[in-house]
């Protein structure tokens, strides 16, 4: 039996809730570059934190 640390279902749910609360669909006045500059630090932080030990599982679970 082995243990592979990754983001918990609760953590992924919180991330999805945060993404929805950003209201990206209501930010049509912003260019893609501006949105990337605004939200990239948060997304990078999540990926760095949750992929520290096991990179692919965290990212696939969050995106998928």
pLDDT in tens, 22-38: 998 898 899 999 999 99
Pairwise CA distance, residues 62 & 10, whole Å? 11
Pairwise CA distance, residues 12 & 39, whole Å? 17
What pLDDT score does 50 carry? 79
Q: Read off the pTM.
A: 0.65
**Roughly how many angstroms between the first and final C-alpha of the chain, as a whole number?**
25
CB 44 within 8 A of CB 33: no
Q: Is the pLDDT of residue 39 over 90?
A: yes
What pLDDT score does 9 carry? 86
Q: Lowest mean pLDDT: which of 3-7, 20-24, 59-63?
A: 59-63
């Amino acid at each position: 039996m082995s243990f592979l640390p990754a983001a918990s279902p609760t953590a992924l749910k919180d991330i999805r809730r945060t993404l929805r609360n950003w209201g990206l669909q209501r930010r049509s006045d912003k260019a893609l570059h501006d949105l990337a500059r605004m939200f990239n630090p948060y997304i990078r932080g999540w990926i760095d934190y949750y992929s520290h030990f096991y990179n692919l599982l965290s990212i696939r679970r969050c995106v998928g």
